[in-house]
């Protein structure tokens, strides 16, 4: 039978009609679960139960196929839960709450498919929560906390990607390195903010050392980097020196590009 012609499962309507009761049961299980913090309270609980009902109604691939709509709700849920362990523990409690509250109300001829689909969707939700938490953790390792700019690791990663793209499509790219007085918070914060605001949408700014910022300017020659630096000076940014290196003029090796830009910044 085609997925579009399949009769809707009764569990979807049961979920929607009993959201408040399910949420109350779920919260009660979470409060008494020894693996969760005391008085654990699932966030956006009603929205997640409603999203489960919507997922039940959608054709679902077997296995770990993606469900973007469900993943979006789970992303907000995981953020609100405060930690991955809490989010997963609460989702496990949700599965148990559904089994206790609804499974004896499911038509007998739908029982097997309903059990399979609910378990699959709950498992997908747990997998999505874990994946999103891992992505956020990785991103946090790439951020310079004092300025909110990306850090040197991110710069090296992104520069490799941009140079590979530039070589492949024979397009220019340039790196702007800005040096300033180290250790002065009255300089680094406003200069970082000015650089972030001074590059184009789609270009990224980085803090790469105590006294060094940088920007990758895609599809740009060295003249564009000089224009960005001149604009920062004209807008009253704290004092700085700068250097620019570009592909193809200075090669296609990320380390060489950064070294050339840094040396030019030191000479100005």
Interval 108-143: pLDDT, tens: 999 898 888 888 888 888 888 888 777 777 677 888
- Residue 6: per-residue pLDDT: 61
Confidence of residue 64 (pLDDT cuts 50, 70, 90): very low
Q: What percent of the chain has pLDDT over 90?
A: 47
Q: Is the pLDDT of residue 62 over 70?
A: no
Do 135 and 36 sit in the same domain of this protein? yes
Mean predicted lDDT score pLDDT of the chain: 87
- Residue 63: per-residue pLDDT: 47
Do 106 and 196 sit in the same domain of this protein? no
Do 23 and 136 sit in the same domain of this protein? yes
Residue range 87-116: mean pLDDT, rounded: 91
Partnered with residue 150 across adjacent β-strands are: 143, 206
Residue 146 lies in a domain: no
Residue range 162-188: mean pLDDT, rounded: 87
Range of the domain at 164: 152-267
Do 7 and 34 sit in the same domain of this protein? yes
Do 210 and 123 sit in the same domain of this protein? no
Q: What is the pLDDT of residues 4-26, one digit of tens each?
A: 456 788 999 999 999 999 999 99
Do 178 and 83 sit in the same domain of this protein? no
Q: Is the pLDDT of residue 239 over 70?
A: yes
Domain count, the chain: 2
96, 117, 140 - which closes a domain: 140
Q: What is the pLDDT of residues 177-220, one digit of tens each?
A: 999 876 666 788 899 999 999 998 888 899 998 899 999 999 99
Do 195 and 255 sit in the same domain of this protein? yes
What CATH number corresponds to the domain at position 234? 3.30.70.270
Q: Is the pLDDT of residue 261 over 80?
A: yes
Do 127 and 23 sit in the same domain of this protein? yes
118, 140, 162 - which closes a domain: 140
- Residue 207: per-residue pLDDT: 93
Do 71 and 171 sit in the same domain of this protein? no
Do 15 and 132 sit in the same domain of this protein? yes
Residue 147 lies in a domain: no
- Residue 65: per-residue pLDDT: 59
115, 140, 165 - which closes a domain: 140
- Residue 1: per-residue pLDDT: 44
Do 126 and 223 sit in the same domain of this protein? no
Residue 120 lies in a domain: yes
- Residue 165: per-residue pLDDT: 87
User: Which of 18-27, 52-61, 79-88, 192-201 has the highest mean predicted lDDT (pLDDT)?
Assistant: 18-27
The pTM is what? 0.56
């Amino acid at each position: 039978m085609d997925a579009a012609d399949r009769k809707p499962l009764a569990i979807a309507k049961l979920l929607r009609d009993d959201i408040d009761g399910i949420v109350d049961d779920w919260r009660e299980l979470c409060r008494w679960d020894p693996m969760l913090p005391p008085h654990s309270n699932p966030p956006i609980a009603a929205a997640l139960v409603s999203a489960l009902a919507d997922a039940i109604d959608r054709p679902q691939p077997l296995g770990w196929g993606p469900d973007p709509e469900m993943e979006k709700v789970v992303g907000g849920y995981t953020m609100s839960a405060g930690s991955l362990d809490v989010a997963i523990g609460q989702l496990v409690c949700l599965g148990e709450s559904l089994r206790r509250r609804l499974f004896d109300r499911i038509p007998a001829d739908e029982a097997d498919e309903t059990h399979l689909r609910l378990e699959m969707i709950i498992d997908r939700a747990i997998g999505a929560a874990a994946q999103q938490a891992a992505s956020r953790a990785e991103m946090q390792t790439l951020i310079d906390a004092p300025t909110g700019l990306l850090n040197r690791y991110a710069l090296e990663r992104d520069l490799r990607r941009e140079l590979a793209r530039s070589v492949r499509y024979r397009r220019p790219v340039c790196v702007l390195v800005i040096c300033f007085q180290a250790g002065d918070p009255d300089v680094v914060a406003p200069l970082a903010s000015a650089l972030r605001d001074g590059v184009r949408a789609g270009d990224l700014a980085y803090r790469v050392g105590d006294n060094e910022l940088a920007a990758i300017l895609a599809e740009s020659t060295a003249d564009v980097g000089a224009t960005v630096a001149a604009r920062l000076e004209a807008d009253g940014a704290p004092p700085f020196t700068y250097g620019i290196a570009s592909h193809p003029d200075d090669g296609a090796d990320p380390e060489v590009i950064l070294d050339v830009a840094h040396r030019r910044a030191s000479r100005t």
